[in-house]
Structure 1
Amino acid sequence: MNKLLRVVQQAAALVTVALALPQVATAQTAERRSSIGVNLSALQYQGEISNDYWKFSNSRYAPGVAINQYLGRGIDLNTQLFYGEFTGRRNSRTYFTTTVVNANLGFKLKLNNGWALKEDALIQPYLLVGSGWTYASRAGAFDSARITQEKGYIDLMGAAGFNLRLGPGVGLFVQTGQHLPLNANLDGSPEKQTPNWSDRFLQHQIGLTFNLGQAPDSDEDGVQDRLDMCPSTPPAVPVNERGCPLDSDSDGVPDYQDSCPGEAGKAEFNGCPDADDDGVMDSDDACPNTAGRAELRGCPDADNDNITDEEDQCPDTPAGAEVDAKGCPVKPAAAPAAPAAPAVPSTDTDNDGVANDVDRCPSSAGPASNKGCPEVKPETWQRLHEATKFISFELNKATLLPSSFATLDDIVQILTDYPDYTLSIAGHTDSKGPAAYNLRLSRERAAAARTYMLSKGVAENRIELRGYGARHPIASNTAEAGRAQNRRVEFNLFLTGDPNAAQVKYGREPVLPTTVPARRAKAAPARKPTIRRAPVRKAAPKKVARPAAPAKAKAAVRPATPTPKTAVKKPVPAPPRR
C-alpha cells in the first residue's frame, strides 16, 4: 500500500506540473490558452489470461481528468490522469483483479492547424502520443497460488480522437488510445517469456473540455485584441462591436471628444459644425450660413470696412475709406469762409498707412480695414474659444478651481499682446434651478474670472463682464452632457471703444432681480412703544394733586407727539441706499 501512496504522489506531481504549464506559456497564444477536461473511460484488458479488446460488455469504467495547453496552431501539450481496474477469470483457481493508476504526458497533433482545417472548425481531429507511468496493484490466484503484487511500469501510449467545438469555451471530445506498460504483468501469469507489451489495454474516452483564461483585451473595452480595430481606446469610453469609440454623428470625432455629438462637425472644432466653412464654428458664428471674417464673428464684410454687410448701409465703400458706425464714408467738414491756415502735415506714428487723426491705434500698426489697429490672429481667436473648456468652478459656487489658473494666465498674456483691445467675459449656466439664481451665478462666475486677471495686473477698464444665466444654451438642457456644455464662461476681444462683443452677440445683459429692503424696514414700528412710554415715565414723579394730573399729562404728551413722527419719517429714505 505504501507503493500505491508513492505512485499517487508521483501522479499528483505530474498534474501540478501540467497546471503550471499554462503560466509558462501564457504569452505563446492569442486567447484561451489552457483547458481542463473531465472524462469517463472504458478500459479493455488483453493478456495471457483473457482478452477483452473491443468487448464493451466486459469493459471496466474509470473516471479521469485531462489538462491541455496550447503551444501553437498545430500542437498542444496534453496531460491525462485516470484511476480504474481490470478483472479476469480463467476458472475458479485462476483469476485476478488489478487496480491501476495511470498518468501520461504527451503531445497532441492537431489537424485544425489553419492549413487542413480552421482553428475554430466545428470538428477538430487530432493524434496523441505520449508516455507516463502506470501503477498496478494486483490480487488473485494462478492455479490456486496467490499472485498479489504492487508495482509501477513505464507506459507508452498513442491515441486518436476529435473534439466537437460547442462554443468558444467548451468542447466535447471522443478518443481511443492504446497503452503499453513495459514489462507489466497485470494478470499475474508466471510465464517467463512474456514480451514487454504482452499485457496491455485500450482506453476509450468521452468527456468535456473547458477552456480557461480570457482573451486578451489591452484597452479593457470588452472587445478582444484580435477583433479590436481601435486597441488603444481610453478606459471607460463606450465602444462599438469593433472596439472603436462611438461616433453618433459619424463626423470622425468620437463622442467622448465631440463637443457637439449630435451634429456632424469638424475635428478642428472638436466635432462642432461650421456650415459656411469660414473658420468660425456655428455656435460662435453670428452668420452661420454665410462665410465671413473671424473678427466679425463669422459675418461677411464685402467692402472690408469692418462693418458687417447686414449692418452696412453703404456696402460699396472704397477700400481704406473712413466710415461711420453705419458703414458709410465720413463726410469731410465744410471749408471755412476765411482763408485757411497753412495745412499741418498729418502724422503716422506707427507707419501703417493710416494717419494718426483717423487711426484708432496710432501707436500700433494695423490695416485701414481694422481702423489702423492690429488684427487678432486666427490662432488667438482659437485660444480664446478653447479657453471656455478649461474654466471650472466649485459646485453651485463662483469659486474658481486651481485648474483654471493656467488658462486665465494665458488670456492675461493675450491682453498684453493686444493692448488696444478690451476683453469681454460672458457667464452662462444650464437651466436647472431658479432663473434669478442662475442669472446671478453666471455674473458672479464671470466676475471671479475678471477678479483673478485684475490680480495679475490687468487694468480694470480692459475687462468687461456680462451674465446671461440660462438664456443662451449651446446644447440641449435635457441631458447632463448638454447641461455641462451650457455651463461656461466665454471670452472675446473687441477694439476698445467698440460695442461689447458679448452684448453684440447676445444682446443687453438681463437685469438682476432685486429684493425690496422696505419689507425688512417694517419692523421699525416696534420702536413706537418705547417712545410712548417716555412721557409716562416723566409724568410719574410729578404727581402733586389728582386734579392737575390730566392737564400736566396732556402738556407732557403734546410736546412728545412730534418726536415719534420725526423718528418714523427718517428711516423711510434708507431702503434705496441698501
Structure 2
Amino acid sequence: MRHLLATTTALGLSLLAAAPRAQAQSSDRKTAISITGNAFQYKGSFGSDYWKWKSNEYGPGISINRYLTDGLDLMLSGNYVEFAKSAPAGNPYFGSNFATNVVNVNLGLKFKLLKEESFVRPYLLAAPGFTYTSREGTINRNNQALRTDQDKTYFDLFGAAGLNFRLGDAVSLFVQTGQHIPLNANIDGEPNRDDNKWDDRFLQHTVGLTFALGKAKDTDGDGVSDRKDKCPDTPAGVVVDENGCPLDGDKDGVPDYQDQCPTEAGTAAMQGCPDRDNDGVADKDDQCPDQAGTAALRGCPDADGDGVADKDDKCPDTPAGTQVDASGCPLVVDADGDGVPDAADKCPDTPKGARVDANGCPMEIDPAIRKLEQPIRFETNSTVIKRTSYPALNKMVQALKDHPEYSIRVVGHADSRGTDEYNQALSERRAGSVKRYFTGKQVDPARVVTEGRGESEPAAPNTSAKNMSQNRRVEFHFEFFIPNAPQP
C-alpha cells in the first residue's frame, strides 16, 4: 500500500506532460469518478502522527463527482485505511496497542476557485459523513492487558483543501489534504473518555485521478465542445484553435483553409491576398502591383482606355473609342464603307452605297424634290405613257439635270389580272418605258434604276376597276447617285 501514492503521482505527472491543455470534469461532462491513493496520519491517546510522513498509513479511495455550477461540485467519496499502533515509551498506555480498520463515506460540496479553464484550480471541500471503525487491541492497565475490540459507526466531519490539474479532455489530477473528525470516535481503544468529542481524529493526504464520464457535444466535430466553440459551424477536417475557430496564420481575418495567400496578410475581398495598389487585383496576379489598373489588363493601368496597358502602349493618348492595334496605335477602320472612319462615324451602320455627310450619316433628299415623286398610271395591259403624265415626268427630268448628285429609282407595278409571271414582266416593261423617256431627255442611263414588282404591292385591293387602275402604275424614288452602282 505504501507504493500506491507514489504510483498514482507518477501516472498523474505523465498525463500532465502529455496533455497540458485539456480539461476533465466540466459543464460538458458533468459526472466523473475519481480513484485515489491516500496517506493517513492518526492523532489520539497514543500520540500524534500529524505531519510525520514516516508514520503514514496508506489506503485506497474512490469518489463520484457531479458538476453543479462553474464554482460548485457535489461529491460522494469512500476511503479505507487500517491504523495500527503501539503506545510508545513514556506514554501512560505504554504496552498497549490497537489495529483499527476505518471506512469513511462522505457526501459534501466542493467549492472551486478560479475559472473552469484554469490549468491549476484550487478548491475547498466540506463533506460530512460517517466513519465506521473495527478495532482489535489491548490496553495495558496495572500490568494487565485488557481487550478493547469493538465495531462502531460515528458521524464524521471532514474538511479539505486541494489543487486540481487539468490533464486531458476526460482526465484530471488532484492533490488534497483534509482532516476527519469522527465525533466521539475511539480509534485506539483508550477507555477513559472525556467530554471532548474529537480526541481521536486523523489527517488524509490524497493524490487522485478524476475521469469524466460521457462525451461533450461537438456538432461540427472539430474537437472543441459546442459550449466553448466560438465558430460552431467549422467545416469537417479544418484545423481549429482552442476556441474552435479555423487557424489564421497571417491574422488577416481569412481562415487558412480559405486563404489563397496564407503567409501574407490580405483582405477578405482578395481571398486573403494583399493588393498594394487597391485595384481589385491581388498582388500575386498583378503585373503592375504598384499602379492601380484593371482586371482585364491583369492589374495594369490603361490611361487612354484603348485596351492596351500603358506599359505596352506606343500611342498612349489615343482618343476614346478609337480602334487600335496590339501596340495601342489607331487602326483606320471604316466598317460600313462610307468613307468616314469608324472613330468619327456617328452612323457606323449606314447601308452600303448611301451618300453620307461628314459625320458618316445618310444625307437627306431635298423635301422639294421629294414632292415630285408622284406615280403615273397606265391602261390595262399597256406600257404606253399617257400624255397627261408628261408634265410630272418633265419636272423630274429637270430635277435630275439640276441635281447631278441625285439618281432616280423607277418601280413598275401591275394589277392582278393575268398570271404572276406575266404581271411581273409587264411591271418591268412599264419601268423600262419610263427609263427610255428619261434617257430621251438626255438623262444619264446610269442615273435611272428600274425595278418591277408585278402585282405584289397593290396600292388598293384589286376588287374593282377603279382600284385596279390605281395599281397599274410606276412609282419614283429620288436617291443619291452612286457611280458604278450595280443595277438590281
TM-score tier by shorter-chain length is 0.3 to 0.5
TM-score, length of structure 1 as denominator length: 0.40
- Which of structures 1 and 2 has the bigger CA Rg? 2
Q: Give the structure with the larger strand fraction.
A: 2
**Which has the bigger relative contact order, CA under 8 A and spacing at least 6?**
2
TM-score, length of structure 2 as denominator length: 0.46
